[in-house]
Amino acid sequence: MTNSYSNDSYKVIVSLENKFMLNFIKVLVIFININQETVLNWFGIKDSLTTDNLNNSLEISSLKGLWQQIQDGLTLADIENILFFIVFLRFLILAIRYNLKTSFYITCIGIFAGYLWYRHLIDLIAMYRSMLIKLPYLHNLGIDAVQLQSASRQRVLNDLKLGENIHWYNPGQLIYYSFIKGIVSTDSKTGLKYYIDPISMFIANLKESERANILPIYYKVYNRIIPQVFEGVSKFWNQLSGIAAYAVITRIGKRYCPYLVRWHWTFLLIIGFIEQILIYFCYRISYFQLNVLIPQAESLAGSESQRLILQVNLLNGVLAFIICFHLGLILFGLFHAIWGQYFYFPFFVENTELHIGPRPKNSIYSGGNTTWQDEKEKNIERVFPKLWYGWFGRGTQNNWNLLYGFQNLIKNIIRKVYLRFYK
């Protein structure tokens, strides 16, 4: 009797706590003054007129700030502000719909999936940095990429030089620094460095005749072979670490890894093979411009020079189109991942789902809609592939299919030929 009473009391207390937290979130949202000024200030657009005629002044200053922000171009800080705003908004929506605990879990899953896309976006910006600087609207992205690369290189040099800021999750740097710090000693008087490892000490105690034959091999091993081996292993680890993390998390730990993360991570690995073609194609265009067309245009005069300059401008347009298209697709996937949603892209989605299987429908943590998977379950066969399944994979009507008109035209032609042939 006591146990049932305590269980009932516990359920009542938990119910009251859930209601309190839900109402607290609602009241918190009400207390936050979300207006035009709040949203624009979130994105870094400050107001300059707020005294006389507040509404008109705020509108004019906000429009000016927004226009100035657009003219300045896109930066990584702008993308991060938008992402943080989406995460915050989604957390509030899910907290009202479910509860704080469920909202936190779902939001964290979306953040992890979005982080994969964001890291990939930074890698692409770093690869395109020399070409982004030449593009007007993406100029600031190129500057951000150059600054990130220089800061990262300087940090690595400082870490290897001083041994600071080396953490346990960088095992290669940790082992290298420990090895160097352990075998290298510096004389405080002369400033000379010498090795104090067992092999070096053994060689130092040899006779002069024996040491003369061994020292060339010793210096070759320590000054050439060991650094080259470490550099090769580091490059190999940098290439392999992503695949190793993917295998451990999504394959070995499949039971504990949410489907949303596995889907987006596998999709990113698959599109990486096609992305290399676009990236190196852009490199070849840029190389052709800088080393062939521009030197020839500077050496010639008249119509020939104008023709070469026109070719340079046309290739700049091709570069701008490819880079904007590529980065636009990555941002498209990034925002879908942050929202915990899926999208359809022919060939790549099919190969992704061949690796990880269909989305589990009985879990609220598995993400949004996958209409193409629903069609496969219903054995819906199509003569022509459907290229668009709506925003967030919610599905579309037939009239929204990009090939719907073309399909009807082909079907009508086949029907007419069939009827004419069998008359």
Q: How far apart are CA 45 and CA 63, in angstroms?
A: 9
Residue 194 pairs in a beta bridge with 185
Closest of 366, 338, 119 to residue 262, by C-alpha: 366
Query: What's the pLDDT score for residue 131?
Result: 86
Both tokens of 359, joined, read: 């989305």
HSE-up (13 A, CA, CB side) for residue 312:
18
Close Cβ partners of 405 (under 8 Å, ≥ 6 residues apart): none
Provide the pLDDT for residue 10.
Answer: 45
> What pLDDT does residue 113 have?
93
Evaluated on CA atoms 388, 390, 394, 396, the torsion sign reads: negative
Question: Distance (Å, rounded) from C-alpha 376 to C-alpha 359?
Answer: 12
Question: In the chain, what are the domain boundaries?
Answer: 369-423
H or E element that contains 300: none
Measured CA angle at 109 (ends 104, 112), to 5 deg: 120
Q: Is the dihedral of CA 214, 217, 221, 223 positive or negative?
A: positive
Partners of 186 in the β-ladder:
193
Helical packing angle, 259-288 and 226-246, nearest 10°: 130
How do beta strands 193-195 and 184-186 pair? antiparallel
* Sign (positive or negative) of CA dihedral 230, 232, 237, 238: positive
Q: What is the pLDDT along the chain (423 residues), one digit of tens a residue?
A: 444 444 555 454 445 445 544 454 444 444 455 555 555 555 555 544 444 454 555 445 555 655 565 566 778 888 888 899 999 999 999 999 888 999 999 999 999 999 999 999 998 998 888 888 888 778 888 888 888 777 666 655 555 554 555 555 456 666 767 766 667 776 667 666 666 777 777 777 777 777 777 888 888 887 888 888 878 887 887 778 788 888 888 888 888 899 999 999 999 999 988 899 999 999 999 999 888 888 888 887 777 888 888 888 899 889 989 999 999 999 999 999 999 999 998 889 989 998 888 888 888 888 888 888 887 777 776 666 777 777 777 777 654 444 555 556 666 677 766 666 665
Between CA 38 and CA 211 the distance in angstroms is 75
What is the predicted pLDDT for the residue at 321? 92
First to last CA, the chain: 85
Structure tokens at 372: 């193409």
The H or E element that residue 296 is part of is helix 294-299
- DSSP H or E run through 33: none
Q: Which amino acid is at 305?
A: S
- ∠ CA(116), CA(120), CA(124), 5° rounding? 170
